[in-house]
Amino acid sequence: MNDLIGLLPAAGRGSRLGPIPCSKEIMPLGFRPSPDTPGALWRPVTAIELHLHALRRAGASRAVVVIGETKADVVRYVGDGATYGLSVAYVYQRTLAGMPYALDLAAPWVGTATTLFSMPDTLIQPDDTMARMVEHHRDYAADVTLGLFRTATPQKFGMVNLGPDGELRGFVDKPAQSDLEWMWGLAVWSPRFSSFMHAYLANRAAEGPECVLSDIFAAALSAGLNLRALPLTDANYHDIGTPEDFQSVVLSMALRQARPTEVL
């Protein structure tokens, strides 16, 4: 696990937010002081750069961002990643075909590295959450470690069925009604799972129903791979993919900035 690579899917169009002026991953969530930037007292805070900082803190030295045809502004904003202490590369998804296929496009760049996966249209706090995930993954020699967050809106997320001892029993994607309380929002996986996902997608019928990442986690669990869950009881997960959720995050960031003892 000495070679860690971040994997961020940013190919989606963000249509739920309407006609926004830029990609949702770089929409300003707030501003922070920038004393080391000449002529600028403040600089924007965006979701994708918070994820890049979290990847660096977790020990990654490089990251791959999957982009689509409308995401040239993400490339311009993030650049080569030097600002974030990472080497950033971009993989282009020509035809949107679901997140698993987007992630699999990065396989040649990921190689035999351990993958740190997060979604750059979310806000996850605190910023050491991914670092904790990596430590847990290493401690249990896992093939997949999932970071779990409590939610009261299971219809919006990939839900996880946990046993009484915290073992993973199964997955339910966006159920209309459910008693499940834990959703997965972060993941760390081994080269073994990367190979499993590639084979799973290669053998899957193209005309079948949409494939989501939870489907592949479930298949890996059934195949005997070592899947672990880390309930993040003291962490927060916020989606910014809808106007309501985006405004909630902006308000949260503004309130944090208003407290002089807190730094974004």
Q: Categorize the per-residue pLDDT at 206 as very low, low, confident or very high, splitting at 50, 70 and 90.
A: low
- The pLDDT of residue 258 is 66
Mean of pLDDT values over 235-257:
86
- Does the pTM exceed 0.85? yes
Mean of pLDDT values over 87-110:
93
Q: How do residues 140-155 score in pLDDT, each as one tens digit?
A: 999 999 999 999 999 9
Mean of pLDDT values over 99-112:
95
Tell me if 214 sits within 8 A of 135, measured CB to CB. no
- The pLDDT of residue 115 is 98
Mean of pLDDT values over 196-201:
96
CA dist list (Å): 9 to 43, 90, 161, 225: 24, 10, 25, 24
CATH number for the domain running over 4-257: 3.90.550.10
- The pLDDT of residue 32 is 81
With a pLDDT cut of 70, the percent of the chain lying above it is 92
CA dist list (Å): 203 to 22, 50, 193, 207: 36, 35, 15, 12
Between residues 15 and 53, the one the model is more confident about: 53
- The pLDDT of residue 14 is 65
- Across all residues in the chain, what is the average pLDDT? 91
Q: Categorize the per-residue pLDDT at 262 as very low, low, confident or very high, splitting at 50, 70 and 90.
A: very low
- The pLDDT of residue 235 is 95
Q: Which residues, other chains included, contact 54 with Cβ-Cβ below 8 Å and sequence gap of 6+?
A: 118, 124, 127, 128, 129, 130, 131
Q: Categorize the per-residue pLDDT at 178 as very low, low, confident or very high, splitting at 50, 70 and 90.
A: very high
